[in-house]
């Protein structure tokens, strides 16, 4: 276990040292992607400079080394999620890719009269693939609505989860509001009617511990790049029997057992869902990122992020005209807000000019914006390497921006 010491930790992330327009960078866009520690960057470089070869098919030394490294990455992910079997870990390009893989399979399994249940809080990548699956299969897509705090409104849940429900797809944590959803209860209710559950974990694993066996989720998905790893990497965890039910997503090399001109038999898990040459360097570097992250006691990181959130929230609330969107007591370190009389884009631009990187817009959650009757928010999202001093810089920059806009 490595002791969490903010000043040493920050030195692991080279990008945090840089300046923007001559100002020290304050990076508060971790919800969009997280920065990478030097060892992750080095791991990619090492792979291409001394280990590169294609995996799974070669007899030569480098191909074997690459295969071993890639399969070790799978084992690391397995233990990180506490999955029961190694072959329950499918390596993908990211959350979007993982959800599309499952939703495509469901487009073949669903039929008219079946229901897919999502929520009004989902990222577009956990809405659109399901709408497509319903369009292709004739099933109906329903959703759990929001309440004013940016939580799921569960007042009608026992009608929404019913005997027609085949799959419930819900985010563990909202990317635009920060809300942590009561997924344990939802999984239990879905299972009680025989439905499967997919959890979008793109915003959760970087903030708190997840144990897929304890949760009992059928599918759990995430992106490597939000977890301090490379872009173009991601994971679909699926319970063995849930994955076995699904037809393959893409056809090609590696996912086959035998190909004849008369037809093909598919490979076993996990390879059945991994067609073509994967992002080998990325997968190996994702292992490095997870190894790096799990060196810390996660509760220390959580405590630090909670302190940042409360500190920033108090300061933000004191500013005139600022309204926080997403006020659940149960949330991660994400602060979405609107400013009366100012467009989120202008606020974001004025913050950027002062070196503060935040996200503005709908954050790929247009239904959330519609619910609140707004067209976007300014979102500051914190990682464990952020500091209170950075919050002070952000608040100062925001005050100046508001004065200019006011
Ligand atoms: C970022 C995000 C996604 C999409 O992830 P990609 O890495 O773009 O595939 C999906 N859901 C949530 C909650 C997210 O935050």
Alpha helices (H) in 193-258, listed in sequence order: 212-215, 240-245
- The phi and psi torsions of 6 (rounded to 5 degrees) equal -55, -40
Query: Does residue 58 register a pLDDT over 90?
Result: no
- Arithmetic mean of pLDDT, 310-328: 97
What is the C-alpha separation between 374 and 150, in angstroms, rounded?
13
171 - beta bridge partners?
200
Note the CATH number of domain 42-293. Answer: 3.40.640.10
Per the CB < 8 A criterion, the answer to whether 187 and 198 are in contact is no
pTM confidence score: 0.98
Buried/exposed code over 353-391 (b: 16+ C-beta within 10 A; e: otherwise):
ebbbbbbbbbbbbebbbebbeeebbbbbbbbbbbbeebb
* 364 counts as catalytic: yes
Q: Is residue 96 within 6 Å of ligand 1 at its C-beta?
A: yes
With both helix axes pointing from N to C terminus, report the angle between 388-405 and 344-352 in degrees, rounded to the nearest 10. 120
Backbone region of residue 285 per phi and psi (left: phi > 0; alpha: psi in -120 to 50; beta: other values): alpha
CA of 236 to the centre of ligand 1 (A): 13
Buried/exposed code over 300-331 (b: 16+ C-beta within 10 A; e: otherwise):
ebbebbeebbebbbebbeeeeebebbbbbeeb
Residue nearest to atom 14 of ligand 1 (CA): 202
Domain boundaries along the sequence of the chain: 6-30+298-405, 42-293
Question: Of 364, 367, 371, 392, which one is the catalytic site residue?
Answer: 364
Q: Is residue 95 within 6 Å of ligand 1 at its C-beta?
A: yes
CA of 119 to the centre of ligand 1 (A): 15
Q: Is residue 170 within 6 Å of ligand 1 at its C-beta?
A: no
The predicted-structure confidence for 30-40, as pLDDT tens digits, reads as follows 999 999 999 99
- Arithmetic mean of pLDDT, 350-356: 98
pLDDT of 152 reads: 98
Per the CB < 8 A criterion, the answer to whether 87 and 270 are in contact is yes
Give yes or no for a cis peptide into 16 (omega within 30° of 0).
Answer: no
Query: Does residue 9 register a pLDDT over 90?
Result: yes
The predicted-structure confidence for 236-284, as pLDDT tens digits, reads as follows 999 999 999 999 999 999 999 999 999 999 999 999 999 999 999 999 9
Q: Is residue 127 within 6 Å of ligand 1 at its C-beta?
A: no
Choices 3.10.129.10, 3.90.1150.10, 3.40.250.10, 3.20.20.70: CATH for 6-30+298-405: 3.90.1150.10
The predicted-structure confidence for 103-156, as pLDDT tens digits, reads as follows 999 999 999 999 999 999 999 999 999 999 999 999 999 999 999 999 999 999
Residue 169 CB coordination number (10 Å):
27
The predicted-structure confidence for 240-253, as pLDDT tens digits, reads as follows 999 999 999 999 99
Helix (H) or strand (E) holding 238: strand 234-238
Among 265, 240, 276, smallest CA distance to 93 is for 276
Per the CB < 8 A criterion, the answer to whether 106 and 137 are in contact is yes
How large a percentage of the chain has pLDDT more than 70?
100
């Amino acid at each position: 276990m490595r002791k969490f010491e903010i000043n040493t930790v920050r030195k692991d992330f080279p990008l945090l040292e840089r300046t923007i327009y001559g100002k020290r960078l304050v990076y508060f866009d971790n919800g969009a992607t997280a920065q990478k520690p030097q060892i992750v960057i080095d791991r990619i470089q090492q792979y291409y400079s001394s280990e590169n070869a294609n995996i799974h098919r070669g007899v030569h030394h480098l191909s074997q080394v690459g295969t071993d490294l890639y399969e070790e990455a799978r084992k690391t992910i397995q233990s990180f999620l506490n999955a029961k079997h190694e072959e329950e870990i499918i390596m993908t390009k990211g959350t979007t890719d993982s959800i599309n893989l499952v939703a495509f399979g469901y487009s073949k399994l669903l039929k008219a009269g079946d229901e897919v249940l999502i929520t009004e809080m989902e990222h577009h990548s956990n809405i659109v693939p399901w709408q497509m699956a319903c369009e292709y299969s004739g099933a109906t897509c329903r959703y759990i609505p929001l309440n004013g705090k940016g939580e799921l409104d569960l007042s009608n849940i026992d009608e929404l989860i019913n005997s027609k429900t085949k799959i419930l797809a819900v985010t563990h944590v909202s990317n635009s509001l920060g809300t942590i959803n009561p997924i344990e209860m939802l999984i239990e209710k879905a299972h009680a009617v025989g439905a499967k559950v997919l959890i979008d974990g793109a915003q959760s694993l970087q903030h708190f511990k997840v144990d897929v066996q304890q949760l009992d989720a059928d599918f759990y998905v995430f992106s490597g790049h939000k977890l301090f790893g490379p872009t173009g990497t991601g994971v679909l965890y699926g319970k063995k029997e849930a994955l076995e039910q699904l037809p393959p997503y893409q056809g090609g090399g590696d996912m086959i057992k035998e190909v004849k001109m008369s037809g093909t038999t598919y490979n076993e898990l996990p390879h059945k869902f991994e067609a073509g040459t994967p992002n080998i360097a990325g997968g190996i570097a994702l292992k490095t990122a997870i190894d790096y992250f799990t060196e810390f006691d996660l509760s220390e990181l959580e405590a630090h992020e909670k302190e940042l959130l409360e500190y920033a929230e108090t300061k933000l609330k004191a500013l005139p005209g600022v309204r926080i969107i997403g006020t659940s007591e149960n949330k991660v370190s994400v602060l979405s807000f609107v400013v009366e009389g100012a467009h989120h884009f202008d606020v974001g631009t004025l913050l950027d000019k002062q070196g503060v990187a935040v996200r503005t817009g709908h954050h790929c959650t247009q239904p959330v914006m519609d619910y609140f009757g707004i067209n976007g928010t300014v979102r500051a999202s914190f990682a464990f390497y952020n500091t209170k001093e950075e919050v002070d810089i952000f608040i100062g920059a925001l005050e100046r921006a508001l004065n200019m806009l006011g």
